[in-house]
């Protein structure tokens, strides 16, 4: 399989491992690496890869911003988003931003390789579970108010659903408790919830539904 790729990820060891794996299994050549969105912009302005492997979490930046930019600036570029975040939370958002696939970082190497093969063949490199969810969403026309939430608000909603309190959320995301409370207020406003208890109940039900097998 001929072609080239770049890796946008802020962990050097991960970049090195993926570069070796993809070259060994698919014969693709890594022609560049970046750890921030700015570095990625500079890189893509000078090279023309077949594929870009992009992490969602780039230091304090959101990789989906880069995906959206590349969708318009480089229409022929294939993109695969990789992330430690569950696909039920970010998979669909990645596809809407312009990605051609989504793979969670804890998956086996074969899953990543299979996703890349599918993408290069013109298909979506996503799990069957995510495909089923997309088909169900399309068939029912169900578009939750959750779609109105920002990436940070979505992340906090997921943590609330997992049972995290404000202190735990603040520690996990490296933000202040006051900022957590501000985000919670915004979430309640966007979802039409009146109290913290309503928010917790909604978050738990939403999280369980999104992560069910």
Q: Could you count the other beta carbons within 10 Å of the beta carbon of residue 28?
A: 20
Q: What is the dihedral of CA 75, 80, 84, 88, to 10 degrees?
A: 80
Contact 98, 70 (CB under 8 A): yes
pLDDT, tens only, 6-51: 999 999 999 999 999 999 999 999 999 999 999 999 999 999 999 9
Q: What CATH fold (topology level) applies to the domain 4-138? A: Rossmann fold (3.40.50)
Note if the pTM is more than 0.75. Answer: no
Polymer length of the chain: 213
pLDDT given for residue 213 in this prediction = 46
Is the domain covering 145-211 a CATH 3.10.20.600 domain? no
pLDDT, tens only, 91-103: 888 998 999 999 9
Whether the pLDDT of residue 78 is over 60: the answer is yes
Do domains 4-138 and 145-211 share one topology? The answer is no
Residue 81 has, within 13 A of its CA and on its CB side, a CA count of 33
Burial tier of 55 (Cβ tally within 10 Å: 0-12, 13-18, 19+): buried
Max Cα–Cα distance, the chain, nearest Å: 56
Provide the mean pLDDT of the chain. Answer: 89
Q: What is the dihedral of CA 142, 145, 146, 149, to 10 degrees?
A: 140
And the tokens for 153? Answer: 């608000």
Give me the residue spans of the domains in the chain.
4-138, 145-211
Q: What's the rounded Cα separation, in Å, for the pair 65 and 48?
A: 19
């Amino acid at each position: 399989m001929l072609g080239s790729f770049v890796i946008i990820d802020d962990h050097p060891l991960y970049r090195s491992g993926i570069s070796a794996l993809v070259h060994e299994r698919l014969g693709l050549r890594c022609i560049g690496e970046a750890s921030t969105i700015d570095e990625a912009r500079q890189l893509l302005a000078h090279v023309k890869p077949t594929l870009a492997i992009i992490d969602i979490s780039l230091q304090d930046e959101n990789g989906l911003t880069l995906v959206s930019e590349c969708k318009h600036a480089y229409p022929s570029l294939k993109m695969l988003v990789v992330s430690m975040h569950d696909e039920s939370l970010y998979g669909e958002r990645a596809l809407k931003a312009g990605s051609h696939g989504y793979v969670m970082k804890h998956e086996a190497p074969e899953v990543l390789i299979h996703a890349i093969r599918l993408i290069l063949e013109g298909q979506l490199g996503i799990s069957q579970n995510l495909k089923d969810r997309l088909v169900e969403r399309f068939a029912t026309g169900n578009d939750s108010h959750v779609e109105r939430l920002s990436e940070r608000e979505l992340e906090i909603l997921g943590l609330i659903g997992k049972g995290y309190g404000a202190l735990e959320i603040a520690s996990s995301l490296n933000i202040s408790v006051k900022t957590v409370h501000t985000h919670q207020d915004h979430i309640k406003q966007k979802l039409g919830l009146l109290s913290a208890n309503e928010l917790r109940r909604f978050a738990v039900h939403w999280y369980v539904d999104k992560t069910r097998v």
